Amino acid sequence: MTDTWLVSGGAGYIGAHVVRSLQAAGVDAVVIDDLSTGDARRVDVPFIQADIADCELVAETLRRHQITGVVHLAADKQVEESMREPLTYYRRNVVNLMQLLAAMARCDVGKLVFSSSAAVYGMVDSPQVDEDHPTRPINPYGETKLIGEWLIRDQARATGLRYAALRYFNVAGTASPELADAGRTNLIPMVFDALGRGEQPVIYGGQHPTPDGTCVRDFIHVQDLAAAHVAAIDALDEPGAGHVFNVGCGRGYSVREVIDMVAEVSGRSIEPRMGAARPGDPATVVADAERISKVLGWRPRHDLREMVSSAWHAQPRLLSAGQS
Ligand SMILES: NC(=O)c1ccc[n+]([C@@H]2O[C@H](COP(=O)([O-])OP(=O)(O)OC[C@H]3O[C@@H](n4cnc5c(N)ncnc54)[C@H](O)[C@@H]3O)[C@@H](O)[C@H]2O)c1
């Protein structure tokens, strides 16, 4: 019988790509999503519109669909909002995860892939971070992801749950236009947003200790990230599996380099405005992604140009404005 995985947050940007990759790998998926930021049009598998906090419904779904494991992406993810509304973030990212773990234990569902984040590292002071780098998140969002990892680890010790916590770096690009990132919090969508308003994008801080003075980040194509979930799921066939993996390319691009790539791909002339550095913004955050490549044999296949180009071609309003 084909395995069926529950994907919480599967109507979101990354979740929808994960569902596609599962399908391509011959794994069935069922999505639960409350559509707080997701879009039902991204989903073409059985879909339940619900808050993951509804434990009875989650348990019933686990049983009815004979779920093998859960990919848990459903979470709030805006750093600044998490600083204004920490209780909301602890409730939706931590309490909901506790309830999900309880429902999984009740229904004997013993495999979990968890969306963690490079935000668990906080102020990074080395050129690359491996998974053993100290975790000192600097905002409630990052804290909720780190607490999530602890909860899962401890539940695994107690129950034998098999898990992989994937610490995503900066996710970008799209597999197809209808799955594109509709949010405006990541760098590339922010640049598009500024262009769409007829404005120039802002670079926060030009005096960082990096080659061109702007922050350096590790960008990962969402299709590569989705493939990492499939590889992680395969690894959970191993009894006792409990993994924490960075998912990045292991290569940094500066904010200026990314904006230059947007200019090149879009054929627009872009003259970014310089803004003040944001407090608590580390100069460089780049993954050491050796562990996932050694353990899972996973490697990224897409480069920055493909990330920017796929995202750009999913912007019909900007594309048509460019043609007029
Ligand atoms: N995008 C990134 O760069 C990035 C980086 C690191 C980690 N992450 C993590 O990846 C996950 C997915 O992020 P995304 O970029 O796809 O964001 P997204 O907002 O597009 O997707 C999140 C999905 O979860 C749903 N959701 C949220 N809370 C829910 C709840 N209580 N019950 C049911 N559904 C709920 C939303 O409606 C949405 O469809 C999140 O956990 C996020 O923290 C994202």
For ligand 1, the distance from its centroid to the CA atom of residue 15, given in whole angstroms, is 7
pLDDT value for 184: 83
Are 171 and 225 contacting, i.e. CB atoms less than 8 angstroms apart?
yes
pLDDT value for 324: 37
For ligand 1, the distance from its centroid to the CA atom of residue 11, given in whole angstroms, is 9
Cα distance between residue 214 and residue 253, in whole Å:
10
Cα four-point dihedral sign 89, 99, 40, 179: positive
Quick one: tokens of 309? 């180009």
Query: Which domains, and CATH codes, for the chain?
Result: 4-171+219-247 (3.40.50.720), 174-218+250-323 (3.90.25.10)
In the chain, where does DSSP find H-type helix?
Answer: 13-24, 55-64, 79-84, 86-89, 96-106, 140-159, 187-196, 222-235, 255-266, 290-296, 304-312, 316-323
Q: Which residues line ligand 1 (CB under 6 A)?
A: 8-9, 11-15, 32-38, 51-53, 73-75, 77, 92, 96, 115, 117, 168, 170-171, 183, 186
pLDDT value for 322: 57
Atom of ligand 1 nearest to the CA of 52: 32
Atom of ligand 1 nearest to the CA of 141: 43
Classify the phi-psi angles of 240: left when phi > 0, otherwise alpha if psi is within -120 to 50, otherwise beta: left
Mutate which of 18, 37, 145 for ligand 1 pocket (most atoms within 8 A of beta carbon) = 37
* Residue that is written with structure tokens 């969002």 in the block: 141
- Low-confidence stretches of the chain (pLDDT beneath 50): 323-324
Nearest CA to ligand 1 atom 9: 115
For ligand 1, the distance from its centroid to the CA atom of residue 36, given in whole angstroms, is 9
Helix (H, G, I), strand (E, B) or coil at 300: coil
Quick one: tokens of 191? 């640049």
Catalytic residue positions?
A: 141
